[in-house]
Amino acid sequence: MSESIIADFVASFNSQKSARSEPVKGRVLLSRKRLVLVAEEGKTQIPLSSIVDVAVGQVPDELGDFFNSTVTIAFERNDRQFVAAIEADDETIEKFNSVLYKALLNGTEATVKHPARIGGRVTDAAFTPAKLFVNPRYIRFKRQDGEFTIRLATVTGFERLNREIAGATRPVLSTTHNRNGQAVVTLAALPSPRKMNILGRYLRREYREVMEGIRDVDISDAEKELLVTVYSTGDMDGIPLAGVLDAEASEVELLRSRLEQKGLLTDSEDGLQLTPAGRVVVNNHLEDVND
Domain boundaries, the chain: 5-105, 108-215, 218-289
Instruction: Give the per-residue pLDDT at 237.
Output: 46
**5-105 CATH:** 2.30.29.30
Q: Give the residue with greater pLDDT, 183 vs 102.
A: 102
Instruction: Give the per-residue pLDDT at 285.
Output: 72
* Three-class SS of the chain: CCCCEEEEEEEEEEECCCCCCCCEEEEEEEECCEEEEEECCEEEEEEHHHEEEEEECCCCCCCCCCCCCEEEEEEEECCEEEEEEEECCHHHHHHHHHHHHHHHHCCEEEEEEEEEEECCEECCCCCEEEEEEEECCEEEEEECCEEEEEEHHHEEEEEEEEEEECCEEEEEEEEEEEECCEEEEEEEECCCHHHHHHHHHHHHHHHHHHHHHHCCCCCCHHHHHHHHHHHHHCCHHHCCHHHHHCCCHHHHHHHHHHHHHCCCEEEECCEEEECHHHHHHHHHHHHHHHC
Mean pLDDT in residue range 119-142: 93
Query: pLDDT confidence of 245, banded at 50, 70, 90?
Result: low
Instruction: Decide if 5-105 and 218-289 have a common fold.
Output: no
Query: pLDDT confidence of 31, banded at 50, 70, 90?
Result: very high
Q: Is residue 102 pLDDT above 50, yes or no?
A: yes
Residue % of the chain over a pLDDT of 90:
44
Q: pLDDT tens, 194-229?
A: 999 999 989 887 777 777 778 788 888 888 888 888
Q: pLDDT tens, 157-191?
A: 889 999 999 999 999 999 999 887 678 999 999 99
Q: pLDDT tens, 49-74?
A: 999 999 887 655 555 555 557 898 99
| CATH fold label, 108-215 | PH-domain like (2.30.29)
Q: Is residue 99 pLDDT above 90, yes or no?
A: yes
| CATH fold label, 218-289 | Arc Repressor Mutant, subunit A (1.10.10)
Q: pLDDT tens, 267-289?
A: 877 677 888 888 888 877 766 65
Q: Is residue 42 pLDDT above 90, yes or no?
A: no
Instruction: Give the per-residue pLDDT at 29.
Output: 96
Query: pLDDT confidence of 148, banded at 50, 70, 90?
Result: very high
pTM of the model: 0.78
